[in-house]
Structure 1
Amino acid sequence: MSETSKMLWAVLGAFAIGFIVVGLSKQEESPEQKEAASMIRNYVTIQSMANQKCPEAILKQTGEEVYFPSETVSDKETYITLKWVGEKGFKKASCTVYGTLGGISELIIDDKVIIKKKI
């Protein structure tokens, strides 16, 4: 067997071993892992929606732009409430987003209810 043939078999063997290692490392996720991943995706979706819609609604109502909430309250499954402290246009604002509603379910600015949807 020539050196070229030996080299070819060595490369093919390395590829075969690589495929076997990758195939064995891909294990099926357990139901608990799937559920945890689903909960994380849901929370990220709710949080992204709140971070997009709430500042727009507050800007529309007060004329003041808000960026980072001063407080965040959530059960990490169904809702998230973001709270801001204002400087010029308002003193405090609270915005709640429920995943089941798909938008702002409650917006309170300076103790005045702007949006209130039933859940």
Structure 2
Amino acid sequence: MGETQKIMIAVVGVFVVGFLMVGASKQQTNEEKESASQIRTLVAMQEMANQKCPKLIQNKTGTQVYFPTKTDTDKKSYVTMEWVGEKDSNFKTASCTLLLSLGGVSKLVIDDQILIDKK
């Protein structure tokens, strides 16, 4: 057997071992699947809240907000974002809660006034 044939067999062997390793690592346990699902849910809630809450606050106050100063979540069903107004803002504090079960904003509080309260 020549050197070239030995190298070709070694390369093919490396590819076969690589495919076997990738195939074996793709099997997930139920805990890993649940964890991945929880992460996807949290990301979806955060994304939805980041789209809807700043628009609502801007519509109600005329001030555009960007990054919340505080975020609270149970990582399953709700996310609450809070903003503190700056000197040139038309509000002092704003709080927006998004419930996943409603698929949208369930509570909006600006300067201690409840503007939206869905249950």
| Shorter-chain TM-score tier | 0.7 to 0.9
Partner of 2:112: 111
Q: Which runs of 5+ in 1 are unaligned?
A: none
After superposition, the CA RMSD in angstroms is 1.6
The offset of 1:61, in angstroms, is 0.7
Q: Which AA in structure 1 matches 2:118?
A: K
Correspondence 1:36-51 to 2 at 5 A:
36-51=35-50
SS of residue paired to 2:66: coil
Out of 62-71 and 7-16, give the one that drifted further.
7-16
Out of 108-117 and 50-59, give the one that drifted further.
108-117
Give, in whole Å, the separation in 1 of the partners of 2:8 and 2:51. 56
CA shift in 2, pair 1:5/1:53, >3 Å: same
Partner of 1:79: 78
CA shift in 2, pair 1:34/1:54, >3 Å: same
Correspondence 1:1-119 to 2 at 5 A:
1-26=1-26, 28-87=27-86, 88-118=89-119
The offset of 1:39, in angstroms, is 1.3
CA shift in 2, pair 1:38/1:112, >3 Å: same
TM-score (norm 1): 0.86
Q: Which runs of 5+ in 2 are unaligned?
A: none
CA shift in 2, pair 1:39/1:14, >3 Å: closer
Percent identity reads 54
CA shift in 2, pair 1:21/1:39, >3 Å: closer
Q: Which AA in structure 2 matches 1:35?
A: E
